[in-house]
Every structure is written in C-alpha cells, then in structure tokens.
C-alpha cells in the first residue's frame, strides 16, 4: 500500500513526489510548530524545486479547507452521534480536534497539493547525485 512510487507513499511520508528519496521538510517532526511549514528549497537527490512557481502553496489552502471540513464532520459524528454529547460539547470537540490536528493537516494539504502536479519518476529514484 505504501510502496515507493505511489502517490499515497509521498503524501503520507512527506517525501519528494518525484523521487521519494528524502523529506520535503527541513524538520520531519510536524509537532515542531516553529518549523512546521519550513521546506527545503529543492530535493538534493533529484533536484526538484518544491516551489514550482511563486506562491505555489497558496493553492494548498483549498486542500486544507477540505481536510478541515472532513475532520470537523468526523469529530462531530464521533462526539454527537457515537458518544451522545450535547451540541455544545460536540462543537467544542470539533474546535479542540482541529487545533490538535493543525500541524498534521497543514503538512498533509501541502503534500496532497504538490502530488497533484508532480508524478513519481522511477528514473530519478535510482540516481545518485
């Protein structure tokens, strides 16, 4: 399922979408909030420049919006429907869930967005630069 070469592998690991040999982020830990969005300028293995054009990752905000809506709906269903919480507590659980998952959703939205435009190239995966 997470075989090298699949989009899912690149999205979930945050690796270069072209060669999938190294992380796109300067700090792999998304919980380091000061560097959660700090990315390398380019892949040192295949040379892919991550900022494909100026302000490229502004488009990831749309992906982030969709992910936040999905997570919010899921949090509501779990708290209100499954646990039977009141509406007030259900909305508090949505807010708490979104705050706790913020760094993961930020990175995941960037990973999904860049993988929409860059595909895996097996010829770059085996290069040693």
Q: How confident is the model at residue 108 (pLDDT cuts 50, 70, 90)?
A: very high
Non-local CB neighbours of 70 within 8 Å, separated by 6+ positions: none
CB 36 within 8 A of CB 104: no
CA-wise closest residue to 38 among 28, 26, 54, 48: 26
- What is the pLDDT at residue 112? 96
Classify residue 56 as exposed, middle or buried by CB count within 10 Å of its CB (0-12, 13-18, 19+): middle
| Helices and strands (H, E) in the chain, number of each type | 4, 0
Q: Is pLDDT at 129 greater than 50 in this prediction?
A: no
The whole model's pTM is what?
0.86
CA-wise closest residue to 38 among 100, 115, 107, 99: 107
- What is the pLDDT at residue 68? 97
pLDDT tens, position by position, 58-104: 999 999 999 999 999 999 999 999 999 999 999 999 999 999 999 99
């Amino acid at each position: 399922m997470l075989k090298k070469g699949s989009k899912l592998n690149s999205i979930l690991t945050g690796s270069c979408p072209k060669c999938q040999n190294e992380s796109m982020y300067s700090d792999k830990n998304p919980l380091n909030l000061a560097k959660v969005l700090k990315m390398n300028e380019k892949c040192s293995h295949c040379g892919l420049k991550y900022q494909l054009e100026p302000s490229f990752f502004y488009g990831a905000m749309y992906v982030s919006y969709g992910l936040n809506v999905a997570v919010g709906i899921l949090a509501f269903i779990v708290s209100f429907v499954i646990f039977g919480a009141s509406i007030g507590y259900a909305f508090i659980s949505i807010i708490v869930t979104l705050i706790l998952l913020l760094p993961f959703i930020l990175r995941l939205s960037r990973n999904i967005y860049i993988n929409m435009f860059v595909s895996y190239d097996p010829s770059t995966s085996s290069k040693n630069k």
